[in-house]
Amino acid sequence: MKLIFSYAITACRHFSSQAAAFDKKKGSNFFFFKNKKKYGGNGPKTPPRPKIKWTDEQKQVLDAVGNGQSVFITGSAGTGKTFILEHIIKKLRKIHGRSRVYVTAPTGVAACALNGQTLHSFAGLGIGDLDRQSLLDRVLLDRRACYRWKKVKALIIDETSMVDANLFDSLEHIARTLRDDETNELDKKIWGGIQLIVSGDFFQLPPVLKRTKKNDKVYAFEADCWSASFDLQIELTTVFRQSDSLLIQLLQGIRKGENDPEDLKLLEGCCSGYEPDPSAVRLYPRIADVNKVNLEKMKSLENKVYVYKAQDLGDEQWMRQLKSGIAPDELEICVGARVMLIKNINPWRKLVNGATGMVMELCKVSENQYGMSNMCDHGDVLPFVKFDSGLELVVEPEEWVVMDGDKVVARRRQIPLILSWALSIHKCQGMTLDKLHTDLSRVFDFGMVYVALSRVRSLGGLYLSGLEPSKIKAHPKVLEFYHTFNSEQDEKKKALIADRNESSSSGQTITRITSKK
């Protein structure tokens, strides 16, 4: 069955590229959205915003958050972890007040996606590997960091798979020491009473650690304080990014590092001899390869290059985060360049982080309409992009901010595009892509194959080369963590079913849950 499906993918690709060529010839609605947006034409009507239908698991998370509980949310790629976090942030701001909710992530890219700040800058940790006491001493010397630690009521940490165990324990130690005046260590509240919302999938990218010895702790779940930190640990199990059950099943196997022969056959079907669709984003593990491919492709077009310089405001300390975020210091584009949107502009029109397209022209806009003086080296021009979804748009500058609680401490203004012939696997974590190509023989770390492949919506959009089964691997510690986690959840399930049978009451769907020990 899977073999037949892999032939079907190849055939479907052939016809879709023919259809795309036909569409280009038609050049149907070239100025459609462009006209509406900037020139007063009649653009397509925005479809009504659909009401969110939360799954039972998601409802359980929202209830727990509303009840003041600390929650760890996990689940495979595309199960809505970041999506629900955005709602949790709004909910917590209503409960605790805007200034007492801090949104963080271990990397600038992930932090910027939620308009938050990096975990290091929130905590006042600075750079360098220090032991727990030295980190605390450093924080004590940082007046603003102490203020944040005292003020925070709810702390959100996204992409926890990249937070290491020692850092997680150090943060808990700092929180407890700075926030709780209780002299008896044993009576102090865990995390100093902060409501902690942590989200991530440990099968995705691991923490970047300089030196590790064999028995060193790596992942946050190995932290001494991990179990005691949460009232509820829950796995979201409904995948939204993909709808094809065959692909979902394939990705579940890859996530766990399984080399199922049927799945490998399916992957082989994605390694067809055809040249990958030119609109497919090439994913590389190393940034040097990404830059090389993008530069070469740009050069080969031999078109006039336009440079957009980011406009930054704020303290140097906070600006560092924006520089390591996704919006580039300088964006170089030209007509014909493949580009990707790096901000959710209008999700209901599929104008989301990860949407790809091509620059069709650089449009003159009225002087200073966008306050763009000094932004582009060729004056007041904006890129007009035809997205692969068919939508056309003059892309205006957008803003990224770093929030310190409710205060904006740095902002960057830039055109929300990057070149997208190639992209790094690290930068694509969290994105959804329609078509991608990756060379699996080049990946070097746990979770990389899974992160790369799980970005795609359908098998028809997946182009592979260098299929080496040995590269599909999951870290043994992560496998063990989820094995225990799922067994505990199954035990809870059984107990709940028994309870239900006893009281013969019907009710909510039962999910995998582990409770605070």
Ligand X SMILES: Nc1ncnc2c1ncn2[C@@H]1O[C@H](COP(=O)(O)OP(=O)(O)OP(=O)(O)O)[C@@H](O)[C@H]1O
Q: Which residues bind ligand X (CB under 6 A)?
A: 52-55, 58, 75, 77-83, 201, 240-241, 430, 432, 454
| Closer of 244 and 361 to ligand X (Cβ) | 244
Q: Taking the C-alpha atoms of 158, 161, 164 and 169 in order, what is their torsion angle to the nearest 10 degrees? A: 60
Least gap, CB of 447 to ligand X (angstroms): 11
Least gap, CB of 451 to ligand X (angstroms): 7
Joined tokens for residue 23: 């569409």
Least gap, CB of 428 to ligand X (angstroms): 9
Calpha distance 253→242 (Å, rounded): 15
**Angle formed at CA 316 by CA 381 and CA 169, multiple of 5 degrees:** 120
Q: Collect contacts of 296-303 with beta carbons under 8 A, ≥24 apart.
A: 297/337, 297/338, 297/419, 297/421, 298/332, 298/334, 298/337, 298/419, 301/334, 301/335, 301/336, 301/337, 303/334, 303/335, 303/336, 303/337
| Closer of 79 and 489 to ligand X (Cβ) | 79
- Sort strands 232-236 and 71-75 into parallel, antiparallel or unpaired: parallel
Least gap, CB of 183 to ligand X (angstroms): 42
What strand order describes the sheet that includes 101-105? 117-118, 101-105, 154-157, 195-199, 71-75, 232-236, 513-515
| Closer of 57 and 277 to ligand X (Cβ) | 57
Secondary structure letter of residue 383 according to DSSP: E
**Angle formed at CA 113 by CA 79 and CA 294, multiple of 5 degrees:** 100
Residue nearest ligand X by beta-carbon distance: 80
Calpha distance 362→382 (Å, rounded): 5
Query: Cβ distance 356 to 339 under 8 Å?
Result: yes
Least gap, CB of 429 to ligand X (angstroms): 6
Question: In which residue are the tokens 């630690």 written?
Answer: 149
Secondary structure letter of residue 279 according to DSSP: T
Least gap, CB of 314 to ligand X (angstroms): 27
| Closer of 58 and 60 to ligand X (Cβ) | 58
| Closer of 70 and 79 to ligand X (Cβ) | 79
| Closer of 61 and 382 to ligand X (Cβ) | 61
Least gap, CB of 326 to ligand X (angstroms): 14
Task: Write out the H or E segment, with its range, that includes residue 515.
Answer: strand 513-515
Task: Write out the H or E segment, with its range, that includes residue 197.
Answer: strand 195-199
| Closer of 58 and 118 to ligand X (Cβ) | 58
Joined tokens for residue 361: 């022209």
| Closer of 199 and 514 to ligand X (Cβ) | 199
Least gap, CB of 87 to ligand X (angstroms): 9
Calpha distance 60→71 (Å, rounded): 10
Least gap, CB of 448 to ligand X (angstroms): 13
| Closer of 74 and 489 to ligand X (Cβ) | 74
